[in-house]
Structures are given as C-alpha cells and as structure tokens.
Amino acid sequence: MGTCCSYEVSCGRYGGSVAIDMYENESKDSDGNDVTYRDGGARARLRGFSRYVSMYTQQGKKGFNQDAMTVWEDFAGEKGMIFCGVFDGHGPHGHKVARHVRDLLPSRLSAAIRMSQLKGCKYIDGHDYNNNGSKCNMSLASWEGSFVKSFGELDEKLSQDSSIDSFYSGSTAVTVVKQGNHLMIANVGDSRAVLCTRGDNNQLIPIQLTVDLKPDIPAEAERIKNCKGRIFAIPNEPDVSRVWMPDEDCPGLAMARALGDFCLKNYGLSSIPDVSYRELTDKDEFVVLATDGVWDVLSNSEVIRIVASATTQSMAAKMVVKHAVRTWRFKYPDSKVDDCAVICLFLKSQPISNHFAPKVTGDNVKQAEHVASHGSKFFNNQVPDSVIGGTTVVSKEDLRPLEGLSRANTAFKLPRILSRRKSSRSLEGVEVQQREALVHG
C-alpha cells in the first residue's frame, strides 16, 4: 500500500496557495510497467511503455549511465495532459544531477501551471473558469513563465543542495507538454526533440523542434562573453566550441545552457529554457526526445524512419537506442559509446507500420526539416489566439538549426577539487535578472 498526503504551494506575488495531493503509491500498469502516482494523481514512469509512449535507455562505455528520463500522464491533474522529459548529465556527478532534475522538475512545473491557472480564474463544479464564464486557459506567456520559473527554482535549489556536488557537474533538459493539440517545448542544453509529420505525398518528414544550444550560436556567445566567460575550441577538436572560466582552463563545457555547472553560472552559462510552441495537426505522427548519444550518430531522418518501422509502438524507443549503439561501434570503433535515452511520444493511438511509412528522401528532408531561426518564436506560421490565450511572445534570436555530429565529451577538463563553500554558492547577477524579467515581465 502506498501513502497519500498533500502540501500547499505559495502563489508568490499573487498571494494565496494551492493544495496539491502527493501520491507515493507504486504499482504496475496493465502492461506490467512500474508506475508511481504523484501529485494530482499523475502516473509517473521511468521506463517501459504505455498507449502513447515508448521509453528506453542504455548505459554507454563511459561509466555511470548519466542519462535519465520520465513521462507523467494526466500531468498537473488534467486528464490526457502528458509531460515528457529527457535529461543528460555530465561531469563527475552528472548522473546525480540528471536524476535530481528528473525527479523534481515535473512536480515544480505542475505546481507552476496550477498556480498560473488560478490567476484570474474561479473554480466551479470541478473546473476553472474565466470571469466571462468561458473555460480558463493559460496564455502562451503564462506557459513560458511557468517553464522559466520551474527551471530557475530547480537550479537555485540544486545550488544549495549539499548532497549533490554540482559545481562542476550538470544536466541538459529537453521537455514537452502535450495538451490536446497543443505542444509546448522547453529546452536547456543539447538534447533534442524532433517531430515526425507527413508531407503532401504522405512521406515522413522530420521537423526539429529544438535548437542544440551550443556556445558558438551568436546570441549565446554574446551573453557568455559579456559575463567574462571564454569560448574556444581545443586544438584536437577545432569544431567543438567550449565554455571556460575567465582565469582557469576548465571546465570546457560544450553547451551554452545547463542545469547545474555552477562554476560557470556567473560567467554566462544559463539555466533559462528556450520555450516554443507548436499546434499539432492530423498529419503529425510522433515526437522523439533523445540525448546526444543518439543524435551524435543518427540524423533526424534516420531516427524517424527507425521509429516508423517499428512493428509495435512499445519497441520503438529500444530500436532507436540499439541502432545508435551499433552505429557508434561502426562509425567510431576507437571511441567509447555514449549513454543513450529515448522517449517516443505517439500522437495517435494506432501504431505506424512499414506499410504506411514511405521512405524518407533527401529532397523531402531538405525542404521540410527546419527550426524557427529568424522569425516567430513559435514553429507554426500562425500563432493561435489561445493556447490557450493570446499573448505575443518575443521572437527567437538567431539560433541555428543544426544536426550536429559531435562525439566529444561534454565537459573536457575537470579542475582541481575546490571547497564546498565555492560549490554551494547561489546564482547571482545576470542569470537572476534575466529569469525575473521573463517571469514577472
């Protein structure tokens, strides 16, 4: 038997609080997979599959499996809402950071969403309503604010957690929340989300939903340099830009945003997620979230082809991981295979078989594979009046939609061990100012 309790979350500057039920009841679903019932009755998964989700991870040859993942069904207490997250740790304690983020980020985001829903709404007969009597929905700005607030709070708490040494260790996070035909995406680091949709001729087309947030992206580089961080590549890896402290040749982090890595947080490394939105259509088939152990050796096109060829949805994620591992061994026999973690979120209940999965062609991919890099913050040409509301969000900066092929270690050089006093210092300066501007702006 599990236990059930509740706790109250303060609503910040809006006042009041919201009670959230916490369920710690572990059980098996109808397919025999482990499920933990969490706040609001959400079903949290760490492995396995369900009607709409396939998950799989495999340890590489570098030590601990530093990849982590989770899926929460009926997220934030709403029937049918799904949260998916994949997290890639790096550094000596990266596996602990990734698992910490996996375990705590969904709860924080769930609480932030429910608090945001309370603003300007009244509760009638089990539902939230606006003052005009219509169903209460969150604006795009509210969604972005919920993501930014959750990531920021988690990162600050991580900096104060003495049980995890995150001064030179950190984690990526790529997350999606599906609510009906709305898809919200939040990304920190270089894990990736890719959507599979169908073209006019029924061909499968990959659409990259996130940008690999590397230090050589102009907007990222400008922020880091303005904060006195340094960016350069080492001689034997001239194509891999890395972030370094001002006065020490460490840690050489190959990404511009991450949770943790507090040695660089005052020097431009950011934990603020890049948030975007897509309205799903009948042509959209599934979303794949994966760590760079997959994307370093498989293209977006190859990944969606593998998923589409799966005879059952439950095997899709495992097939992607197995293909990635084999490709590592073939392409880079002298390199250690990286950890791999994959979540496949299917947007339709019926499995995709080879019969309905025409081959992806190079021309189709070149025409349709894109990320919003110059225009709208959102991946659709047209932002709907509501996502649940109707707020215009600032356009994206010049981020590049690249399919990187980098098998370099995320953190190049580990410096000497510093004192716990240093490793526990909290976020300061530009990071906090940027987060507050997004949350309260």
Token pair of 351 as six digits: 């499995």
Give the span between the Cα atoms of 392 and 389, in whole angstroms: 10
Mean per-residue pLDDT of the chain? 75
Token pair of 374 as six digits: 């110059």
pLDDT band of 57, cuts 50, 70, 90: very high
Residue 22's CATH number: 3.60.40.10
Give the model confidence (pLDDT) of 176-188 as tens digits.
999 999 999 999 9
Helix (H) or strand (E) holding 294: helix 292-295
pLDDT reported for residue 409: 65
Question: In this model, does residue 332 exceed pLDDT 70?
Answer: yes
Give the model confidence (pLDDT) of 143-174 as tens digits.
999 999 999 999 999 999 999 999 999 999 99
pLDDT band of 25, cuts 50, 70, 90: low
Give the span between the Cα atoms of 404 and 296, in whole angstroms: 7
| Contacting residues for 218 by C-beta, under 8 A, at least 6 apart | 397, 398
Give the span between the Cα atoms of 199 and 177, in whole angstroms: 24
Task: Find the domain containing 306 and state its range.
Answer: 4-440
Question: In this model, does residue 11 exceed pLDDT 90?
Answer: no
User: Under a CB-based contact definition with an 8 Å cutoff, are residues 152 and 104 in contact?
Assistant: no
Give the model confidence (pLDDT) of 334-370 as tens digits.
888 888 999 999 998 654 443 334 444 443 334 333 3
User: Under a CB-based contact definition with an 8 Å cutoff, are residues 391 and 119 in contact?
Assistant: no
User: Under a CB-based contact definition with an 8 Å cutoff, are residues 358 and 203 in contact?
Assistant: yes
Token pair of 54 as six digits: 């396939």
**Single pTM value for the model:** 0.76
Segment 287-304 shows an average pLDDT of 95
What are the DSSP calls for 250-279, one per residue? -EEES-SB-EE-TTSGGGT-B---EEEEEE
User: Under a CB-based contact definition with an 8 Å cutoff, are residues 90 and 410 in contact?
Assistant: yes
Pick the most confident of 29-43, 103-117, 119-133. Answer: 103-117
Which of 93-107, 313-327, 365-379, 421-435 has the least mean pLDDT?
365-379
How many domains does the chain divide into?
1
pLDDT band of 3, cuts 50, 70, 90: very low
pLDDT reported for residue 375: 28
User: Under a CB-based contact definition with an 8 Å cutoff, are residues 342 and 55 in contact?
Assistant: yes
pLDDT band of 305, cuts 50, 70, 90: very high
pLDDT reported for residue 62: 79
Give the span between the Cα atoms of 184 and 210, in whole angstroms: 11
Question: In this model, does residue 263 exceed pLDDT 80?
Answer: yes
pLDDT reported for residue 412: 55
Backbone angles phi, psi at 49, to 5 degrees: -155, 165
Give the model confidence (pLDDT) of 189-247 as tens digits.
999 999 999 999 999 999 999 999 999 999 999 999 999 999 999 988 898 999 999 99
* Partners of 87 in the β-ladder: 68
pLDDT reported for residue 368: 36
User: Under a CB-based contact definition with an 8 Å cutoff, are residues 288 and 318 in contact?
Assistant: no
pLDDT reported for residue 50: 80
pLDDT band of 371, cuts 50, 70, 90: very low
